[in-house]
Chains A and B, each alone.
Chain A
Amino acid sequence: MDLPDLPEAEHQNIRFADGLVLDCGVTLPELTVAYRTYGTLDAARANAVLVCHALTGDQYPAETSPVTGKEGWWTQVVGPGRPVDTAKYFVICANVLGGCMGSTGPRSLRPDGTRWGTDFPPVTIRDMVRAQKRLVEHLGIERLFAVLGGSMGGMQVLEWAATYPDALFAAVPIATASHHSAQNIAFHEVGRQAIFADPEYHGGRYHEHATIPARGLAVARMAAHITYLSEAALARKFGRRLQNGGLSIFGDMFQVESYLRHQGSTFVRRFDANAYLTITRAMDYFDLAADHGDDLAAAFAGTRARFCVVSFSSDWLFPTRESRALVRALNRAAANVSFVEIPTDKGHDAFLLDEPDFHRTLAGFLAGCAERAGLAR
């Protein structure tokens, strides 16, 4: 599979020449945060909402991606008249640290002009949040009205609430957990090993060989994609329907295979393998309780933020019981917490899909918070 490198695109960004000190002890000599904003910041700078993207998301939730030409990943949630109403809120979304859409990551160039590649230091969810905090401060915002996100975005929301409790009014962790389970780590490891096993990976120096480990990355995406869907959703979409008739070993036999291969092959045209390794590691490493003496409630001690925890009934990657454990920890911290489980058969991906109950919940929660925060309607 001979594929060119990712298309280069201009991403709006801010560069911090003083860099960033990472959890691993390494200091990034400079930090670039690629971001997009929607809506207008009000005079009191009180209506800012930070949207945190998931593992393979980007900073384009509400507009066409310049890289893929596809519609934004959260247009049903972010936009005028949407639950995160850009006519009302000033919405910020940044590419995560370690990503490949313009923020500093393994694809970025070092000050000496060479690519970071596998020399890029390991980052944590907290490092990602620290980078976002720099951006938010740069935009002149002391306190965000809300921080929200699903999956890895939800991990960032939790980290925001724990690390900068006074810098947010409301927190909406969606389809997420306070740590990655052994099962989640195991699935990620299958993906990483697939990338390592691809001869085009060249020990991470694939750029020097003008190639990319497309096969390995595609397999990683295929394995991960299965975890984003429920069995019911796969059965409904594909069942056991055959693609090309009879029994075969090498071609696509079932429609579900063809679907997964398509997912894999489109993914490699928009994502960098080393970024995938970096970000999956950050997710696996995330354990908010471990950072607070193994007491998750301690992470939220004294918090004044209003929380809305959302889970989806058929999500087996971040099941409702993880959300409930989070809610109980928030209760132990006497936090103001709303918690709903949205009934759906769409699995983990439901947070990205058309789920009217979820959207109503989100809109209502934010409206209630806006009323409490005294935001002008």
Chain B
Amino acid sequence: MNEIGRPGPAHPEPVRFVAKNMRLDLRLIAEMIEPGSRVLDIGSGDGSLIETLSRTRGCDARGIEIDMAEVTRSVAHGLPVMHGDADHDLAEYPDGAFDVVVLSRTLQAVERPREVLRQMLRIGSRAILSFPNFGHWLVRWQLLSTGRMPMTSVWSRPWYETPNIHPCTIRDFMALCEQEGYAIEQWLAVDDAGQRSPWRRFPGLANLFGEQALFRLRKAGAPAGSPAPDGARQSNLR
């Protein structure tokens, strides 16, 4: 759904998912999802997350993807994926249709991030998001030292053609969650080497050294605890 870290759309054959090759943030996201959950992955890309979730965790996992070639490849691989996008297609789903709604590395590329978040927590009881952290020290340093828009391995497109129109920092995101009344159930930052950051208790440091951030949210009023689906919902899964 965005340009960051996505495999190119030019594979001639369907790509068989291999767990060890799955993107780091997707692996971390998969670990956050209870087996048997109903999951919607917005920006499902090559479908590796929904395939992992449905084949290894017994989830009813579905995808929405904006790139038609990826959609076709996913469906041809037996995965339930529809063509659509975060800004326009979430409003159609009924309240609470999913246990978990995932948006990986896409928040910064949608038209209305706050509305997308609202929709995610309307149609799902939990939202899991990953995004590249614009507060990373290299980004800050480049802007400070050169006075021009940063260009890093993560933020790799010039300002005039980047699809990433809404970059934010970890602190920005936390502030938005507070403003909107979302409880952060779990969060972590990952550094440039792909290691989980040790700064869990220090958001300021995570915001400086974390290259990517990962959050699991629920509405503040919603019950805490495991987002596992109950038995009645389970019976509806196919």
Contacts and interface: CB of A to CB of B under 8 A. Distances in A.
Interface residues of B, number: 23
A338 interface: yes
Given A328-B92, A361-B72, A338 B82 contact: yes
B76 A363 contact: yes
B71 A360 contact: no
A327 interface: yes
Contacts of B93: 331-332, 334
B57 to A, nearest CB: 15
A328 B89 contact: yes
Which of B76, B80, B81, B236 has its CB near the most chain A CB atoms (within 10 A)? Answer: B76
A357 B97 CA distance: 30
B77 interface: yes
A327 B64 CA distance: 12
B82 A327 contact: yes
A336 B100 CA distance: 15
A197 interface: no
A104 to B, nearest CB: 35
Interface string B42-74: 000000000000000000101000001001100
> Which of B81, B82, B84 is most buried by chain A, counting CB atoms within 10 A of its CB?
B82
B78 A367 contact: yes
A341 B83 contact: yes
A365 interface: yes
B132 to A, nearest CB: 29
A341 B82 CA distance: 10
Nearest to A364: B76
Interface residues of A, number: 30
Given A306-B238, A331-B89, A332-B93, A357 B79 contact: no
A306 to B, nearest CB: 7
Contact of A337 (B82, B94, B238): B82
Contacts of B204: none
B24 to A, nearest CB: 26
B52 to A, nearest CB: 15
Nearest to A309: B82
Interface in A284-306: 304, 306
Interface in A314-352: 327-328, 331-334, 336-343
A342 B238 contact: no
A371 interface: yes
A336 B59 CA distance: 13
Contacts of A328: 89, 92
A368 interface: yes
B154 interface: no
Contacts of A327: 82, 84
A339 B72 contact: no
A372 interface: yes
A332 B97 CA distance: 9
A357 B72 contact: yes
B75 interface: yes
A364 B78 contact: yes
A332 B92 CA distance: 5
A339 B83 contact: yes
A360 to B, nearest CB: 4
A367 to B, nearest CB: 5
B14 interface: yes
Contacts of B75: 308, 338, 340, 361, 364-365, 368
Given A331-B92, A367-B78, 9 more contacts: A308-B75, A327-B84, A331-B89, A332-B93, A340-B72, A361-B76, A364-B75, A365-B75, A368-B80
| 9 closest cross-chain pairs (CB), A and B | A368-B78, A364-B76, A339-B82, A331-B92, A360-B76, A334-B97, A328-B92, A338-B75, A338-B80
30 contacts: A169-B238, A304-B238, A306-B80, A327-B84, A334-B94, A334-B97, A336-B60, A336-B62, A336-B238, A337-B62, A338-B80, A338-B82, A339-B71, A339-B82, A339-B83, A339-B84, A340-B68, A340-B71, A340-B75, A342-B72, A357-B76, A360-B14, A361-B72, A361-B76, A363-B76, A364-B14, A364-B75, A365-B78, A371-B78, A372-B238
Interface of A: 169, 304, 306, 308-309, 327-328, 331-334, 336-343, 357, 360-361, 363-365, 367-369, 371-372
